[in-house]
């Protein structure tokens, strides 16, 4: 008799697998549930084990890009010949913002940028502020970013 990929001898049958968001943790040996904001949990021998990443953990990984629009409309505003802001909208109606960056200058040098990321409805989701430090040759030597 052949073995299934999990090395169980013989055939296995599954009527269905349902993974629906919920608020309870598994309590039956072998039970596998998705708990909202916590991720997947598995109950084994009296212990609940966290599997994978929660939504919050996933969002904090810097190498994963979030909420970037493939199609968008960008508006750039100039003040005294310098870019003062860039706003990315869902489309040219400019009804829903995706991201907005404001640029502050100290003379001719950028001193700070503030980027606001909006959710799918256009409400502010998070703000990232970057402060720039220059050396005596006017080269950027430090960018200090804070996510709020």
Q: Where are the beta strands (DSSP E) in the chain?
A: 21-22, 32-35, 39-44, 47-51, 73-79, 82-89, 97-106, 109-118, 124-134, 140-147
Shared domain check, 88 and 130: yes
Return d(Cα 41, Cα 50) in angstroms, integer: 5
Expressed as residue numbers, the domain containing 29 is 21-59
pLDDT reported for residue 1: 43
The model's pLDDT over 125-137, given as tens digits with 9 standing for 90+, comes to 899 999 999 999 9
Shared domain check, 79 and 53: no
The model's pLDDT over 4-15, given as tens digits with 9 standing for 90+, comes to 455 555 555 555
pLDDT reported for residue 63: 58
Dihedral class, residue 108 (left if φ above 0, else alpha if ψ from -120 to 50, else beta)? alpha
Is 2 part of any domain?
no
Shared domain check, 85 and 30: no
Shared domain check, 38 and 80: no
| Across 53-62, average pLDDT | 67
* CATH code of the domain containing 92: 2.40.128.720
Is 41 part of any domain?
yes
pLDDT reported for residue 8: 57
Shared domain check, 53 and 97: no
Is 11 part of any domain?
no
The model's pLDDT over 88-101, given as tens digits with 9 standing for 90+, comes to 998 899 999 989 99
Shared domain check, 27 and 82: no
Query: How many folded domains does the chain comprise?
Result: 2
Q: Report yes or no on whether pTM surpasses 0.75.
A: no
């Amino acid at each position: 008799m052949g073995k299934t990929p999990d090395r169980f001898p013989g055939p296995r049958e599954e009527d269905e697998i349902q993974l629906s968001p919920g608020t309870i943790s598994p309590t039956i040996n072998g039970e596998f549930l998705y708990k909202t904001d916590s991720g997947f949990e598995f109950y084994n021998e009296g212990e609940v084990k966290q599997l994978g990443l929660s939504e919050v953990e996933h969002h904090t990984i810097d190498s994963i890009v979030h909420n970037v629009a493939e199609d968008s409309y960008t508006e750039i505003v100039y003040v005294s010949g310098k870019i003062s802001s860039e706003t990315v909208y869902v489309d040219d109606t400019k009804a829903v913002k995706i991201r907005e960056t404001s640029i502050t200058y100290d003379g001719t040098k950028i001193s700070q940028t503030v980027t606001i990321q909006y959710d799918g409805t256009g409400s502010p989701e998070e703000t990232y502020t970057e402060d720039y430090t220059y050396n005596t040759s006017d080269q950027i030597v430090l960018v200090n970013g804070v996510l709020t």
